[in-house]
Structure 1
Amino acid sequence: MAIALRYAARSDLGLGPKSRNEDSGYAGPNLLVLADGMGGHAAGDVASSMIVGELAPLDEEDVTADQAIPLLEEALHAANAKLTKAMRENSDLAGMGSTTIVMLRTGNKLAMAHIGDSRAFMLRGDTFSQITKDHSFVQQLIDEGRISREEAGHHPQRSVVTRVMTGQPDDEPDTSLREAKIGDRFLLCSDGLSDFVGADVIEEIVREARTPAEAADRCIEVALKASTRDNVTVIVAEVVDADGDDLPTTVPQVVGAAGRRMRGRTRAIPTSPAEKAAALSRQATGRSDADDDSLELAEDRTRSRRSKIVTRILAALVIAAILGGGGYAAWAWSQKQYFVAADAGRVAIFRGVSQDIGPITLSHLESQSDVRVSDLPVDVQGSVGNTISARDLADARTKVDALRTEAQRCQHLAQTGTPCGTSPTPTPSTVPSTPPSTAPTTPTVPRPSTTAPKPTTTTPPRVAAAGGPGAIGEVA
């Protein structure tokens, strides 16, 4: 019996301080993609849009089950390479990254690739289960038996993810292939939902909704009622009989940053995969194609020809201004950034970015704390050594306070003769007062608890995503 998908995609900015949606979602007849751009980095919305744009053409591929996983891996590697290229060409994009979940239908099977802490759930009969495993610091602690799942919801490092798409060659996703059965329902979501709404509530929504659209709308509604501080994006898909009475969905839907022309709206944007991929590629890299009007979104078609011309002229002027003042703008932007790193063996706050341009240092010491790096667990030492990005100075101080709490906990355990996880390694007597001049291969960025920021289990955490208190029901 042939199967098909009935689906719905929704996205919302959330109630936090973010001014733009960094999530992107794509749902098509054969493809589901959800990407959560790293808000703690520059241009997370660009990263998620580029990934969706690279993967969208797979919706039109006719592949066998044997070809599906290699095809997903190839497409994700290509997307990662484009992130690298974009960051090399535009310093304003340096450090961007994104989680990714992608599901590709091939016959009666679903191939899936996943990297990061965005989640996928499946409802089959009476069983509701999470079918992805978070690539996060607290998940690693759970796997090692160092904390319980209940403790993970309150751990100070609960928002640190250990693997995401950052343009690095070791950004490898987990892959799987599963049989799809009629009646199965799948939910893909960013942590704007899973960090604020309990798994039991999510299950109830997915189970009781009459349609995927109703489930998706309800997830957004409940996340907002839970005061989600993050962008929240969901894709709900139901497996149906291709020849049955439940008609499958046939029009692709694009939401979030990938459909950012629909600012402030959660309704999906219908367009073909190939068209959307081309449009997203141009938008993400700053390129334009003035002769291609076929890629206009529906809301643009009511504009007069004069308004289009004016818009293009203004865009050209803006690009010229950026090219002329880009160097200074990049430097000025860097001086508004903060990160936490080691200085002379202690945790310190730096102003700027942890990169240098030739002889020019883009960061300087803002303040040094009383927290000794050697008092922290060895895995947290790795986080500090690779630098921890902060949204602003207040956020950096909050992260230092969290590290102080962790150091005090370890000191207390040491007094009782109990080891604090892995024994700390000796800290060098001298630590450069500025971070290394090249970007770390495994950057660590704790997501602030008030935002949704949003780069293997044996390496230090590299990128943080958002989370926060206020979850409804059990923390997922």
Structure 2
Amino acid sequence: MTDPGTDSPEPTAEAPDAPPTPDAPADAPAEAAARPTLQLRFHAVSDVGRVRRDNQDSGYAGPWLLAVCDGVGGAARGDIASSTAIGELRQLDEPPGSVDVIDRVNDGIHEAHIAIGAQVDHDPALNGTSTTATVALFDGNRLAVGHVGDSRAYLLRDGELSQLTNDHTFVQSLIDEGRITEAEARVHPHRNLILKALDGLHEVEPDLFALELVPGDRLFLCSDGACGVLDDARLTELLADGSPEFASIELVRASLDAGSSDNVTCVVADVIDPAASPATPDSPPPPPLQPMVVGAAADLGRRRPRALFRGHRSGDTGELEPIAAEIPEGIGGHVVREDPPLDPEALRYAPQAPPRYVWARRLLGAAVVLGIVWVALGTAYWWTQQKYYVGEDHGYVVIYRGVNVPGLSNVYEVSDLKLDQLRDSTQDQIRDGDMIFDSFARARDEVTRIGQNARVTPSESGTPTTPPTSPTSPTTPTTPATSSGAADLTGATPGG
């Protein structure tokens, strides 16, 4: 494939190498030189393919207009988007007037965009549907091209194939940056991620350009079901021979044989000069071709799309009819059809319809999360209040309820046992809060045991006293006196 900027026509508003208008006198007015001198011989084919249940492609071919729209959206009915777009674009298929062809194409694409938005407004279930659009409008000399998405337009001139459009896809951006090759793009996991589409919601600016045509040119428009599986060499081979009808049919057949899992739509048109082969009594001119509408735009009123290549030379390539599953007798004797498997189109790259009641669902979810957190915190606090530990408060041994964490414990009972009456190891344990118990009774027993084992310390008075044998309710503790030589306090004043 050659680049349109090399040997093939430059896709700009005016091609510098435009051929002179045949039979136009040198002194003819400019408008006479611009009269249509060339014609299009065209054919269009669209096939649902071997995998899809529905054809979401739509195509159009007429004397002045060629167009391919690839609808996306899965459950949001991409076939509606593509057929709506073709319904608007086909109004461009009329002889050229005073308006420039590029402006007409731009207006047509925007009208299609607005029409899709009107469909979504009428039926909110279509929210999320969209379509690509590749449009080629002919005025008898020039071709104006408008493009959005990943459908493509090609030009075959003198045996060389040029891709006229540039894909609006994620992988194309990687190709443009030199990060992957064309071959790698064909198998990239995100090859179907498009960046532009007509959805009636997001404003989009199409790529617009024009080029001069010459007799012998062949135009080719297709959905990605064809160009996604056929490389440029294969496309050139299939476009090189035969009539537009033969070439379009073979292109669809070859795409299915190459393993395309998508709908396939191909539009082929030849540029001819009727003056080069004037009609004679022996060879009258061919009858004018009637416009062709294919794909979803033509199948929308039918019950099911038609697979064109069922049972051809490579075998049955059409989709299988759904199998009827009969309900056992006694339940009504009705015949129903099993639910089809998930259509891969539903997982395609178009944005899906947003769920309803988004804010209500978010608030409900937040309330559930907060409720779970509240219950968890309440349970944790309740658990901490079932614990007791022996600690110290203002120099006295006390019993705390809770765990030794700030804010999760409080003084439950104060004993009259002073901390400095205890052994050093016991003092360290009490300060660290290491004496933890599952009940208040066990904590109180431990304080009693500590009091019985408390060591005697000398005082200034020399009068021996001992702390109480068990903790009491909060009272004013009495400073114990000691007696030299006494090893432990027993809870009573020792005899002389």
Paired residue for 1:7, among 37, 42, 48? 42
Structure 1 residue 213 corresponds to structure 2 residue 245: yes
> Could you say what secondary structure the match of 1:234 adopts?
strand
Structure 1 residue 355 corresponds to structure 2 residue 355: yes
Question: Residue deviations 1:311-341, cap 9 Å, x none?
Answer: xxxxxxxxxxxxxxxxxxxxxx9xxx8899x
Q: Is the 8 A contact 2:67 2:134 kept in 1?
A: yes
Structure 1 stretches of 5 or more lacking a match? 268-332, 341-351, 366-476
Q: Is the 8 A contact 2:125 2:353 kept in 1?
A: no
For residue 102 of structure 2, what is the aligned residue in structure 1? 69
Alignment coverage as a number of residue pairs: 283
- How does the TM-score come out when normalised to structure 2? 0.53
- How does the TM-score come out when normalised to structure 1? 0.55
For residue 68 of structure 2, what is the aligned residue in structure 1? 34
Q: Is the 8 A contact 1:122 1:130 kept in 2?
A: yes
Paired residue for 1:251, among 271, 290, 301? 290
**Cα distance, 1:162 vs structure 2:** 0.7
Q: Is the 8 A contact 2:128 2:199 kept in 1?
A: yes
For residue 386 of structure 1, what is the aligned residue in structure 2? none
Structure 2 stretches of 5 or more lacking a match? 1-21, 23-36, 278-284, 310-341, 366-496
Paired residue for 2:222, among 189, 207, 213? 189
Q: Is the 8 A contact 1:3 1:108 kept in 2?
A: yes
Tell me the distance in 1 between the aligned counterparts of 2:69 and 2:348.
24
> Greater Rg, structure 1 or structure 2?
2
Tell me the distance in 2 between the aligned counterparts of 1:339 and 1:203.
29
For residue 173 of structure 1, what is the aligned residue in structure 2? 206
Tell me the distance in 1 between the aligned counterparts of 2:287 and 2:238.
20
Instruction: Report the aligned-residue RMSD.
Output: 2.7
Tell me the distance in 2 between the aligned counterparts of 1:339 and 1:102.
23
Tell me the distance in 2 between the aligned counterparts of 1:256 and 1:91.
24
**Cα distance, 1:146 vs structure 2:** 2.3
For residue 327 of structure 1, what is the aligned residue in structure 2? none
Matches within 5 A, 1:54-93: 54-64=88-98, 67-93=100-126
Which residue type is aligned with residue 19 of structure 1? R
**Cα distance, 1:150 vs structure 2:** 3.0
Q: Is the 8 A contact 1:22 1:37 kept in 2?
A: yes
Tell me the distance in 1 between the aligned counterparts of 2:348 and 2:82.
23
Q: Is the 8 A contact 1:355 1:362 kept in 2?
A: no
Matches within 5 A, 1:260-339: 260=299, 261=301, 263-264=305-306, 266=308
Structure 1 residue 224 corresponds to structure 2 residue 259: no
> Could you say what secondary structure the match of 2:49 adopts?
coil
Question: Residue deviations 1:387-436, cap 9 Å, x none?
Answer: xxxxxxxxxxxxxxxxxxxxxxxxxxxxxxxxxxxxxxxxxxxxxxxxxx
Residues 1:79 and 1:357: Cα distance change in structure 2 (over 3 Å): farther
Which residue type is aligned with residue 88 of structure 1? D
For residue 178 of structure 2, what is the aligned residue in structure 1? 145
> Could you say what secondary structure the match of 1:243 adopts?
helix
**Cα distance, 1:63 vs structure 2:** 2.5
Residues 1:266 and 1:52: Cα distance change in structure 2 (over 3 Å): farther
Residues 1:123 and 1:362: Cα distance change in structure 2 (over 3 Å): farther
Tell me the distance in 1 between the aligned counterparts of 2:50 and 2:364.
33
**Cα distance, 1:73 vs structure 2:** 1.0
Residues 1:39 and 1:207: Cα distance change in structure 2 (over 3 Å): farther
For residue 118 of structure 1, what is the aligned residue in structure 2? 151
Residues 1:127 and 1:249: Cα distance change in structure 2 (over 3 Å): farther
Tell me the distance in 1 between the aligned counterparts of 2:96 and 2:55.
32
Higher relative contact order, structure no. (Cα contacts within 8 Å, ≥ 6 residues apart): 1
Residues 1:233 and 1:339: Cα distance change in structure 2 (over 3 Å): closer
Tell me the distance in 2 between the aligned counterparts of 1:202 and 1:57.
30
**Cα distance, 1:355 vs structure 2:** 3.5
**Cα distance, 1:248 vs structure 2:** 7.4
Which residue type is aligned with residue 255 of structure 1? V
**Cα distance, 1:39 vs structure 2:** 4.4
For residue 46 of structure 1, what is the aligned residue in structure 2? 80
Structure 1 residue 106 corresponds to structure 2 residue 158: no
Paired residue for 2:272, among 232, 237, 240? 240
Tell me the distance in 1 between the aligned counterparts of 2:167 and 2:257.
25
Share of identical aligned residues, percent? 37
Q: Is the 8 A contact 2:216 2:271 kept in 1?
A: yes
**Cα distance, 1:211 vs structure 2:** 0.5
